[in-house]
Amino acid sequence: MSLDPVILALITIVGAATPLLLAALGEAVVEKSGVLNLGVEGMMLVGAVAAFATAVGTGSSTLALLAAALAGAAMALLFGFLTLTLLTSQVASGLALTIFGIGLSALIGSPYVGTPLERLARLKVPGLSDLPVVGPLLFSHDVLVYFGLAMVPVIAWFLNRSRAGLVLRAVGDNHEAAHAIGYPVIRIRYMAVLFGGMMAGLGGAYLSLAYTPMWIEQMTAGRGWIALALVVFAAWRPVGILIGAYLFGGVTILQLHAQGGAMIDIASQYLSMLPYIATIVVLTLMSSGAARRRLQAPACLGRPFHPTA
C-alpha cells in the first residue's frame, strides 16, 4: 500500500510527539503536587532500556511496557526518597537522577547495542484501519499512542474535576495548610512522583520499542528536558501539553524531512538544532509577561516540606 507523503509525514509527527506527551503529562501531575523532578531524561532512558531488554529477552511487548513503567517508577522512588524523605534539594536531586539514569541505562544497555527488534505492533481496527486517509492517520497506531491521547482527558479530569486531584493541587499550592487540614502531604507527593516516573518510563519505552526500535546510548537526546519545557509551555494543563507535544513533533519531523529531501542546501546539523532552539524561543514567549500563566504554577513548586509537628 502506498501512502501519500503528507499522510506519512503526519503519521511520523504522531511518533515524535508521543514520548514527549507521555513524559510531560506525568511531570505535570508531579509538579501540580509541588515537586519539581528534573530527572525526566534519566527516567525516560532507564524506561527505554528496561523496555528494550525485556522485549528482547521475553518477546512480549506487554511485559516490556510493564518493565518500562516499573523501571521509571523505581527511579522516581529514588528521587522521592531523597527529596521527600531526606529533604534534599529537588533541583540537585533531579540532576543527579538524570546523570545516574544516563550511566545506568548505558550499563544495562551495553550488551544490546546493535540488537534488532521488531517494532511495537500497530493495532488494527477491522474495517476502520483500511479506510483511505483516515485509516492510516487515526486507526493504525500502537497502544502507547492511544494511551497517551487517552491520558489527556483522564489527567485533565483528575486534576480539575476529581476530589483526589483537588487535594493534590492543594498540596502543591500550600503544603502547610494541606498538612494542617490533615492531608498526608508526603504520601500524596510520593504517589505523584511515582506516577510521573511511570509515565516517563513509558515515554522512553516508546522511543526504544516504536520510534526507533533499537537501543542507542542517550537515545532520548534531550526529550526529557523538552518535556519539562512543555509543562511550562502548557501552563500545567493537559490539553496544552497535547498541543505542545504535537507542535514539537511537527518541528522535529519538519527538520528531518528538510534533511532527507534536501529542500534547503544547509548542513544537517543546523536543521537538527531546530527543536532545541524552538524550545528556547517558546519558553521565552511563554515566560515573559504572562501573569495569568504564573498563577497556574503550583505555589509550593520545588519547596521541601518538613512537618514541624
Q: Which position has the grid cell 498563577? A: 295
Closest to 210 (Cα-Cα) out of 222, 218, 221, 219:
219
Q: How far is the CB of 36 from another protein (least distance, A)?
A: 9
Out of 9, 74, 102, 235, name the contact with another protein by CB under 8 A.
102
Neighbours of 303 (CB within 10 A): 13
Q: Is 306 an interacting residue with respect to another protein (CB under 8 A)?
A: yes
Where in 258-287 is the site for another protein (CB under 8 A)?
267, 269-270, 272-273, 276-277, 279-280, 283-284, 287
Comparing CB distances to another protein, the nearer of 81 and 183 is: 81
Find the Cα–Cα–Cα–Cα dihedral 184, 159, 154, 229, rounded to 10°: -100
Measured in degrees and rounded to the nearest 5, phi and psi for residue 223 equal -65, -30
Q: How far is the CB of 161 from another protein (least distance, A)?
A: 29
Ramachandran category for residue 216: left, alpha or beta (phi over 0 → left; psi -120 to 50 → alpha): beta
Comparing CB distances to another protein, the nearer of 166 and 280 is: 280
Q: How far is the CB of 284 from another protein (least distance, A)?
A: 5
Query: How far apart are alpha carbons 113 and 71 in whole angstroms?
Result: 19
Q: Residue 100 carries which side chain, given as an amino acid letter?
A: F
Q: Is 2 an interacting residue with respect to another protein (CB under 8 A)?
A: no
Positive or negative, the CA dihedral 280, 17, 10, 153 is negative
Q: Is 146 an interacting residue with respect to another protein (CB under 8 A)?
A: no
Comparing CB distances to another protein, the nearer of 1 and 267 is: 267
DSSP conformation letters of 110-127:
GGGTT---PPPPBP--TT
Comparing CB distances to another protein, the nearer of 42 and 136 is: 42
Out of 24, 73, 76, 78, name the contact with another protein by CB under 8 A.
78
Q: How far is the CB of 107 from another protein (least distance, A)?
A: 4
Closest to 134 (Cα-Cα) out of 12, 3, 248:
3
Q: How far is the CB of 195 from another protein (least distance, A)?
A: 22
User: Grid coordinates in use for 222?
Assistant: 534531550
Neighbours of 114 (CB within 10 A): 8
Q: How far is the CB of 129 from another protein (least distance, A)?
A: 37
Out of 4, 60, 92, 164, name the contact with another protein by CB under 8 A.
92
Residue 20 CA, chain-centre distance (Å), reads 4
Comparing CB distances to another protein, the nearer of 47 and 101 is: 101
Where in 185-224 is the site for another protein (CB under 8 A)?
217, 221-222
**Pair 199, 20: CB distance under 8 Å:** no
What is the contact surface with another protein in residues (CB under 8 A)? 38, 78, 82, 86-89, 91-93, 95-97, 99-104, 106-107, 110, 217, 221-222, 225-226, 228-229, 232, 267, 269-270, 272-273, 276-277, 279-280, 283-284, 287-288, 306, 309
